[in-house]
Structure 1
Amino acid sequence: MKYPDSFLKLVEDFKKFPGIGKKSAERLALFVISQMDKEVVSEFSNHLVSAKNNISHCPICGVLMEEHCSICEDENRDDDTIMVVSDERDVFVLERNHLFHGKYHVLGGSIDFSRGISAEDLNIDSLFKRLDGVKEVILSLSGTVEGELTAQYIKELLKQYPVLVSRIAYGIPVGADLSYADDQTLERALNNRLKYE
């Protein structure tokens, strides 16, 4: 039996999502075709287009935003501290748990030479334009080889600025991704951060 072309195209689209293989993509496509109402599918597709068209990265901190950045414009946040994270997922994890009340700086990834990602490909240079009045920069990067390399690189560049450079404590297992940490481990890691030397 040959699947209809439209179905195969939908399967291929689902396979583009991270963690979705052929079987999962087929299950999702079958669910859309056989169990979702046309109105729900239409609304879902509109949400996809709207999100892609309306969401961008804040030009200052790199956090996802629509018209305004809720982090940068929040006057209740501590302007003295900037936490550097790899991507938006890390911000969502920390914000969900209300563990950090300063500002963020999203790099958009980590240095990974095996994938052709160098420091120039990341949102690093704009961090140094934000350091006026900042007392501490917290490097909250994953304990992977790539995260460590990125942290070392940023730490070296920050030596020329009068800021304390700290690193979240290793309550996060080495080799683990920050977005998979449980709330208690994340809180312990943040509260026990040390000067990064």
Structure 2
Amino acid sequence: MQYPKPVANLIDSYMKLPGIGEKTAVRLAFFTIDMDDEDVQEFASSLKAVKTQLQYCSICGNITDTNPCEICSNPHRNSEQILVVEQPKDIMAMENMHGYQGLYQVLGGVLSPVNGVGPDDLNIKHLLHRLKDNSQVKEVIVATNATPEGEATAMYLAKLIKPAQIKVTRLAHGLAVGADIEYADQMTLQRAVEGRQQI
């Protein structure tokens, strides 16, 4: 027996989410059917809002509903440090730690020749222009994930930034190899920031 078309379409939509297989998608679809109309409308509005009301900060590349974002426009942040992350979700993880008060730069990924991702596919040029235009920056903290691609990206950035006489550090390996920043607990992140090393 086939599902009615609206249910089948909803199942297909849920299966587009990462980590959602067919069984989970079916369960979510039938859960959605049983939801109150008001909750469904709110859910749909939330989905639409993240696509229509968000933009990328013109300074750091973080997702925001204002440009520049709250972090870049906050005069109390330490403008001498820029912490470089792979994705906006990594900024959220660092901010939840409440131990870092500097600025950020989102690369939009990592170098991965196997997947066809080179320097021009990331926000590396933007970072370099930002460093050139801002003489206040004394340290760039590279916080890419502890993966082979993350390590290669960190070394590439260090090679580009060091000639500008800016200190380049890397998060300490309190993060397990292969771990993503967004899933690390706050204590691990705190130790990683405090134990960063120059590269």
TM class by shorter chain equals over 0.9
Q: Which secondary structure state, in structure 2, belongs to the residue aligned with residue 159 of structure 1?
A: helix
Instruction: State TM-score, norm by structure 1.
Output: 0.95
Q: How does 1:9-24 map to 2 (within 5 A)?
A: 9-24=9-24
Aligned-pair CA distance for 1:50: 1.6
Separation of aligned partners in 1, 2:144 and 2:106: 10
Q: 1:181 maps to which residue?
A: 184
Aligned pairs, how many?
195
Aligned-pair CA distance for 1:39: 2.1
Q: Which secondary structure state, in structure 1, belongs to the residue aligned with residue 163 of structure 2?
A: coil
Separation of aligned partners in 2, 1:111 and 1:144: 11
For the aligned residue pairs, the C-alpha RMSD in angstroms reads 1.0
Q: Which amino acid aligns with 1:62?
A: G
Separation of aligned partners in 1, 2:180 and 2:42: 33
Q: 1:138 maps to which residue?
A: 141
Separation of aligned partners in 1, 2:117 and 2:22: 28
More deviation, 152-161/6-15: 152-161
Give structure 2 stretches of 5+ with no counterpart. Answer: none
Q: Which amino acid aligns with 2:52?
A: N
Q: Which secondary structure state, in structure 1, belongs to the residue aligned with residue 99 of structure 2?
A: coil
Q: State whether structure 2 residue 59 is matched by structure 1 residue 56.
A: no
Encode CA deviations 1:14-55: one digit per residue, 9 max, x unaligned: 11111111111111111001x211222122111211221010
Q: 2:78 maps to which residue?
A: 78
Is the contact made by 2:96 and 2:186 (CA closer than 8 Å) also made in structure 1?
no
Q: Which secondary structure state, in structure 2, belongs to the residue aligned with residue 59 of structure 1?
A: coil
Give structure 1 stretches of 5+ with no counterpart. Answer: none
Q: 1:44 maps to which residue?
A: 43
Aligned-pair CA distance for 1:113: 2.1
- Runs (4+) of structure 1 exceeding 6 A deviation are none
Separation of aligned partners in 1, 2:11 and 2:187: 38
Q: Which secondary structure state, in structure 2, belongs to the residue aligned with residue 95 of structure 1?
A: helix
> Equivalent pairs: percent with the same residue?
42
More helix by share: 2
